Structure 1
Amino acid sequence: MKDGKKPPFTASGMALYSAILGQLAGSILIGVFCGRYLDHSFQIEPLFLIIGLLLGLATGIWAMLHTVRHFFSGD
């Protein structure tokens, strides 16, 4: 490209996209399933599910930012 920008659909770009997707989806799913398990164990229905969802989302966002920062640092 003439303006110095990389095209978004290169092999490294697709690797970054799939890493972000895996981290976000995986952490949210783990948080939800752990929350459901704790809800079932303690007989408290939506409390731990909501906490697990929020913790999974926060963890996924943190991991995504860490991955993007590492990707663009050149390491």
Structure 2
Amino acid sequence: MGKKEKSPYHAIALYTTILSQLVGTLLIGIFTGKWLDGYCHTEPLFLIIGLLLGLASGIWAMLHTVRHFF
């Protein structure tokens, strides 16, 4: 009984966590970039930077979560 049993609910929780982290960080990056573009009047610059930063932080969070689950 010392061995951990894996249930399908753990996989569902992992996939849901990864999806919400990726989507959440991307949306935060995009909306922050659009807001900064409107504030500074530099139309696509901060949108692209926010998109890339959101993607990078989403991937970092995903790797951290997968490392934590396993």
Cα RMSD over matched residues? 1.1
Q: Which residue of 42, 45, 65 maps to 2:43?
A: 45
Alpha-carbon distance between aligned partners in 2 of 1:70 and 1:15, rounded to the nearest angstrom: 12
Normalised to the residue count of structure 1, the TM-score between the two structures is 0.84
Residue 28 of structure 2 is aligned to residue 30 of structure 1:
yes
Unaligned runs of 5+ in 2: 1-5
Counterpart CA distance in 2 for 1:32 and 1:68 is: 24
Question: Shift of the alpha carbon at 1:57?
Answer: 0.1
Aligned residues: 65
Identical positions, percent: 66
Residue number in structure 1 paired with 2:63: 65
**Runs of 4+ with >6 A deviation:** none
**TM-score, normalising length from structure 2?**
0.90
**Who is 1:21 aligned against?**
19
Amino acid at match of 1:31: G
* Residue segments in structure 1 that go unaligned for 5+ positions in a row: 1-5
